[in-house]
Structure formats: structure tokens, C-alpha cells
Chains A and B, each alone.
Chain A
Amino acid sequence: QKEVEQDPGPLSVPEGAIVSLNCTYSNSAFQYFMWYRQYSRKGPELLMYTYSSGNKEDGRFTAQVDKSSKYISLFIRDSQPSDSATYLCAMVENQAGTALIFGKGTTLSVSS
């Protein structure tokens, strides 16, 4: 079993839809959780990070962490064609363990 599981999709939605992206993990020591967006042939761009459980909101993006279920989510409200990209979840155990463990990424396509 991989440490981080993420459905690769692809996920196709119409413009304006609410998108839900998810990852599950097996290592209960993970404490820091990140979401990266990666456009085709580009490097990953940090979208959001959260520490431990809870919610964090930034504009149209909301990140949720449920450590009891080992489940994290990223919600995108009012999705736009410019949101079309691959979304990677990443996590790390603690501030000393800075090797990020990534999921496979979910490819999202938003049509206008």
C-alpha cells in the first residue's frame, strides 16, 4: 500500500462547479499537509498548506484535514477554466522531516 493515495482522474466539470479533490494516507505521523497545482510541463505551485486537523480557506479554495480518518480534501468553488491542471497532495511528518510525500495527482479539466 502506498503511503499516499490519490485518484488520478481525470475529472471533468463545467465552469462554475464545485470541485472536490481527495487524498488518503496511511502514516499517522504526518502532520503537515499541502496542496500543489501543476500546469502541464511546469513545476508544482504551492496552493495551500495546513497543520494538523481542521479547515483553511483562501479565496475559492478550502483545504480540510481529518487526521482521525487519515483523509484530506481540497474544495474549489466557482471553478474556472484556468483551474484546469493537475492537483497534487503532499504531506510531511514534522518540521525536521522535510521530504514531501506526494500523491499521484488528480487531473482536473474545467470546461467553459
Chain B
Amino acid sequence: DAGVTQSPTHLIKTRGQQVTLRCSPKSGHDTVSWYQQALGQGPQFIFQYYEEEERQRGNFPDRFSGHQFPNYSSELNVNALLLGDSALYLCASSWRGQGWEETQYFGPGTRLLVL
């Protein structure tokens, strides 16, 4: 059973560019959340997608947007990249129907470096 997968593993961009990161959830999961983890910090919640809609959003600017596809996979898009966007971007998947036991399983992340 494949866990959460993310692509690419590493990415280097320059300021002002745009980037798209991809995530495939664990088999049987229908909800995808994205987190940003700066060096030496804990992950920070960006947003969550369920039924192809953004359900919850953290304190991130509109430059960060996303999408969920009918097969539950998801994309994170970041426009007008800033140096401060350099971080490990983590995708986490879960199953909405799991109720209070809902826990999130993380992928290996995409390491983004903005120069």
C-alpha cells in the first residue's frame, strides 16, 4: 500500500517565479492538507482540500493556492515567489469519515529553494 507521495522531491526557483507541487494521498484517503515547514520550525498549516474544495485555510497569503482532483490528488501553487518561501512543503492525507480518530499521514515533502 503506497503511502502519501509528493513530487518533485527538490526544486530550485528564483524570486518572482511560480511553482506547482503535487501530492497523491494514501490509498483510501479523501482529504489533503498542505503544510509549510521552515528550517528549524514545526510545520505550519496552509490549507485543506476535501471534495475538491478548499475547506480550511491557515494564515497564508493569496499567493498560495491549491486544487484537488476527482482522484483526490492535489496541487499546491505558489505565485510571485519570495526568498522566505524557501521551505519543506508537506502534504498530509486523511479520511474524513474516520471521525475523532482522524489523523494525518505525511508525505516526504518537497524541498523548495528560492534564490
Which A positions have Cβ atoms within 8 angstroms of B? 4, 6, 8, 32, 34, 36, 41-46, 49, 51, 88, 90, 94-95, 97-105
Contact = CB atoms under 8 A, between A and B. Distances in A.
A44 B106 contact: yes
Interface residues of B, number: 28
Contacts of B90: 43-44
Contacts of B31: 98
A100 B45 CA distance: 7
B103 A99 contact: no
Interface stretch (B13-21, B36-44, B68-76, B78-86): B36-44
B102 to A, nearest CB: 6
Most buried by B among A4, A46, A97: A46
Contacts of A103: 42
A99 B45 contact: yes
Contacts of B42: 4, 6, 88, 90, 102-105
A98 B102 contact: yes
B48 interface: yes
B58 interface: yes
B24 to A, nearest CB: 13
A103 B94 CA distance: 20
Contacts, number: 62
B104 interface: yes
Given A43-B4, A88-B42, A104-B42, A99 B58 contact: yes
B69 to A, nearest CB: 20
B105 to A, nearest CB: 6
Contacts of A43: 4, 90, 106-109
A52 to B, nearest CB: 10
Contacts of B103: 34, 46, 49
A32 B100 contact: yes
B19 to A, nearest CB: 18
A35 to B, nearest CB: 11
Most buried by A among B42, B48, B100: B42
Contacts of B48: 98-99
